[in-house]
Chain A
Amino acid sequence: MGEFRQAKWPEPIIFEVGGKGRRGYSLPRLEEEELCEDIQSYIPEKLRRRKDPDLPELSEVEVVKHFIRLSQMNFGVDNGFYPLGSCTMKYNPKINETLASSDKVRWLHPYQPEETIQGMLEIAYKLSEWLAEITGMDKFSLQPAAGAHGEFAGALIIRAYHKLNGELERRTEIIVPDSAHGTNPASAAMAGFTVITVPTDEDGCINIDALKSVVSSKTAGLMLTNPNTLGIFEKRVCEIAEIIHEAGGLLYYDGANMNAIFGKTRPGDMGFDIVHLNLHKTFSTPHGGGGPGAGPIGVKKHLRDFLPVPLVEYDGEKYYLDYNVPYTIGKISSFHFKFDVIIKAFAYILSMGAEGLERVAELSVLNANYLASKLVKIKGFEIPYGRNTFRKHEFVLSCSKLKSETGVSAKNVAKRILDYGFHAPTMYFPPVVEEALMIEPTETASIEEIDKFAEVIASISKEAYEDPERILRAPYNTSVGLVDEVKASHPRYMCLSWRMYKKKFKMGEKY
């Protein structure tokens, strides 16, 4: 078998393509009566655009070639194994795209009369009911546009709840484990809370004594991912819930890792009050190179009246948008929800059913443990924390032994992995593991891919001990070699737009 080679086009920046007078777009002509004699005169003088925007001029043909070439220099789930930990890069079924491309999705306006968007509301309503069933919560709002947006909504609910109880002035702290996703502390801070970090125990779970020592009458809530970012199930979660609830705090569940526990256990049953889910992870909607996603938020009954509006309800005859939510935190998105995303999650659940989702949990966990059992045997690597516990859907490999013995770091390993046509794992996360590579194969990986990945890691280990220099200069087979990220953010070189580039480095002068 030959080696992987990513396409490499010497593709200019779009401003360097095309030529004066070319165009890639045509519009229908105005009819006689629509024509205004001097259209410019209608615009107040101060507001008339004096100079056309300095945009490139290209024919449609050139635009297509340019972006197709760029697409060939990108790598998605459909290209190959993508074990990016905590991102759940599972296969995105094509049928979902087909359905989301319907005119009855694309050409709907959010302010159409409700009787003309009953299909949209039905899908939204049923999806929120299903999400409630899956997580053991009572009611979902589909407002949040992404996972972090859901966390922000959750933190605002915690805020509103304590405010209503007259305790907000006192309850200023949100507790977050040191292994949490970066969005958790950032979301809590955005909602005005002080973030208190608790350490992880040797077994990979929250240190309960440390938790008890920081819980107080100031505690507003706790944000937790379970299984956590080490891929370990917080086995004392019931005790944690009791501690927080007894102190008068609320429990927030970060659903980024929900894939591992479908049908096995539910955050609602663990004692969580608020949950967000990432439809673009767990429910197979594609990630689009960074978005759009969706981060629906669900709560137990006692918090229903705080949810962001609108909620979608059904009165037995018709579906409707409900803005009449007494203590709502308000809105966090311009309109109702992202219909193009939620319809894909809806179709996914229809395909899977309860049985299929449970199988997802089983296979994602089996795949992860199978791969972990292979990688842990490879020289230079180890899987710290909770050495005798099975992982759930992901695990964290430490390259710190490899680094101290060969000088090859987690980043170097990640870059070398790219050479084999695999995406790299998440690097340097969670922060509690040194030289971390966080690996999540998901249920859609095949055993052949997983075996191949393990072989690749073994050969990288061998190479690290024999010829580390070669790894330090990796990757070789991607569109470009190792990218200078330091230079990119250096004030002297920083170019954040084409015009900034032109300003800093006159055309022709070497960057």
Chain B
Amino acid sequence: MFRRYMPNDTVEIKEKMMKDVGIEDIEDLFSDIDERIRLKKKLNLPKPLSELEVKREVEKILEKNRSFKDFVCFLGAGVWPHYVPSVVDEIALRSEFLTSYTPYQPEISQGMLQALFEYQSMICELLNMDVANCSMYDWASSLGEAARMAARVTKRDIFLVPHYISPSRLMVLRSYAEPAGIRVLRIKQSIENGQIDLEDLKSKVSKDTAGVYIENPSYMGFLIENPDEIAEIAHDSEALFIVGVDPTSLGILEPPGNYGADIVIGEGQPLGNYMNGGGSLLGIFACRDDDALIRQMPGRIIGMTTTVDGKDRAFCMVLQTREQHIRRHRATSNICTNEALCALRAAVYMALLGPRGFRELGEIILSKTIYAIKKLSKISGLKVPFFKAPHFKEFTVNFDGASATVKEVNEGLMERGIIGGKPLKDEFKELGETALYCVTEMHTKQDIDNLYSQIAQILGE
């Protein structure tokens, strides 16, 4: 069965090899393992299967999933449905990329190295930053690393984050921050329009503040309209200003590099990566061209150089003295395996879109957001969005004035082939019966119209 993956699994070859090694029984190779800890039974696992059986078995289980292809789904909240051009799949499935390791030997790995350098370079253009690493695990781990980096750079230990942040992202941040002695404090946001309370921010910023973090668009989809003022407050107290972004917004929204960000992070999944049930994602991590920042960056960075003989342009990993395999316990981070292939996907995606593609994508998403808000607002009893501010891609729908709860509405929608927005009541009590909805270029006008009529029907409107 499993011999298909092991060319030496024949009696003749094994006998020859054992003879050369000087053993008679394969077990001789394991004779140094203490008898007390030798496994005396067979592992309790299913019997080996042929490829056809594996396929049948896994597909049978997968049939129990219902995907975006079976439902119209309005979930977002950190991972979003976006179209993935066929070219991206084609390139990412190339064996030379897919089955290679981290490019430790640059001479034989120029392809991946150049592609990752291009990823870094294109991300920098989108964000208007100078340096990007070639990936973190996801947005949340980028945030954790950004807090730790801010603390190292400033030698301070307080990190400020907005009140309206994804609770799971915040949980990850705390996992990263707590052992480094970093205290995470929340900045108040207006319950009217979601904007950062500048007075509260000023009162919390001090000589102990390592970094001030905001997201634009925010977790709830609304835009923070005065990021430059927040940057100024952070910089006045010599704290770093860190901004989290959704890169699909950056064809139309000002890049954080233009309003004072020192570090920019975000989720790169929308750039040519599938949602995979929240699976492999792509943590964006970038900073300004400042030696003090670059030397404290976590993760792999690819740089341009030449061959020793000066004949060819070439690429290799740089500043490895920051990393764990050289610096061990003094490394800037322990990250080793990252999300290189997801970054490759993002590189292909960004190359396909170009400046005009990003503008168009941004405008389409924004138009659909506006349309969906307008449409759903027509249902009496709904407050759409909850926050009075411009929104991008995601928006809140409040059902406090309606005849059904978020849970009841979502159950009704499900019966009608729709997955409604993410309930927020458990996350932010003050929002009451509110759900977070997401629309992208994947949602047609009919999808949105149908959402409208189904909700109206459920609410008896």
Residues of the A chain whose Cβ atoms lie less than 8 Å from the Cβ of B444:
28
| Interface positions of A from 17 to 63, Cβ below 8 Å from B | 18, 22-25, 27-28, 30-31, 33-36, 39-40, 42-44, 46-50, 52-58, 60, 63
CA distance A105 to B84 in the complex (A): 14
| B390 and A42 form a contact (CB under 8 A) | yes
| B114 and A70 form a contact (CB under 8 A) | yes
Taking the closest CB of chain A, its distance from the CB of B70, in whole angstroms, is 8
CA distance A188 to B324 in the complex (A): 11
Cβ-closest chain A residue relative to B124: A497
Residues of the B chain whose Cβ atoms lie less than 8 Å from the Cβ of A374:
20
Instruction: Tell me, yes or no, whether B419 is within 8 Å of chain A by CB.
Output: yes
Identify 30 residue pairs between A and B in the complex whose beta-carbon atoms are under 8 Å apart, listed by A's number: A6-B108, A24-B85, A46-B227, A52-B359, A74-B112, A75-B96, A78-B95, A84-B104, A95-B55, A109-B419, A116-B66, A116-B71, A147-B336, A147-B337, A148-B336, A155-B179, A185-B329, A263-B39, A266-B39, A288-B342, A290-B338, A330-B174, A341-B280, A353-B49, A367-B8, A429-B325, A475-B108, A483-B107, A485-B305, A488-B316
CA distance A226 to B92 in the complex (A): 34
Cβ-closest chain B residue relative to A337: B279
| B318 and A496 form a contact (CB under 8 A) | yes
CA distance A481 to B75 in the complex (A): 49
- Counting chain A residues whose Cβ lies within 8 A of the other chain, the interface size class is 35 or more
- Residues A483 and B316 in contact in the complex (CB < 8 Å), given A192-B181, A346-B58: yes
Taking the closest CB of chain A, its distance from the CB of B256, in whole angstroms, is 11
| A334 and B140 form a contact (CB under 8 A) | yes
Taking the closest CB of chain B, its distance from the CB of A155, in whole angstroms, is 8
CA distance A496 to B118 in the complex (A): 10
| B318 and A47 form a contact (CB under 8 A) | no
Instruction: Tell me, yes or no, whether A235 is within 8 Å of chain B by CB.
Output: yes
CA distance A333 to B168 in the complex (A): 8
| Interface positions of B from 206 to 263, Cβ below 8 Å from A | 216, 223, 225-228, 250-255, 258-259
| Set A30, A112, A155, A352: member contacting B2, Cβ < 8 A | A352
| B109 and A74 form a contact (CB under 8 A) | yes
CB-defined interface of A99-130 with B at 8 Å, one 1/0 digit per residue?
10111111111111100111110110000001
Instruction: Tell me, yes or no, whether B180 is within 8 Å of chain A by CB.
Output: yes
- Counting chain B residues whose Cβ lies within 8 A of the other chain, the interface size class is 35 or more
Residues of the A chain whose Cβ atoms lie less than 8 Å from the Cβ of B344:
288-289
Residues of the A chain whose Cβ atoms lie less than 8 Å from the Cβ of B6:
359-360, 363, 443-444
Residues of the B chain whose Cβ atoms lie less than 8 Å from the Cβ of A27:
83, 357, 360-361, 364, 441
Cβ-closest chain A residue relative to B306: A484
Residues of the A chain whose Cβ atoms lie less than 8 Å from the Cβ of B23:
390
| A22 and B354 form a contact (CB under 8 A) | yes
| B58 and A350 form a contact (CB under 8 A) | yes
Cβ-closest chain A residue relative to B49: A350
| A373 and B21 form a contact (CB under 8 A) | yes
CA distance A338 to B73 in the complex (A): 20
Taking the closest CB of chain B, its distance from the CB of A410, in whole angstroms, is 12
CA distance A192 to B368 in the complex (A): 46
Taking the closest CB of chain A, its distance from the CB of B40, in whole angstroms, is 10
**Stretch of A7-15, A206-214, A463-471 lying at the B interface:** A7-15
CA distance A71 to B171 in the complex (A): 38
Not counting A46-B254, A261-B33, a sample of 16 additional A-B residue pairs whose C-beta atoms are within 8 angstroms of each other reads: A40-B252, A47-B216, A48-B253, A53-B250, A68-B91, A109-B419, A182-B331, A287-B99, A292-B337, A346-B58, A351-B54, A353-B1, A356-B48, A366-B17, A483-B306, A497-B120
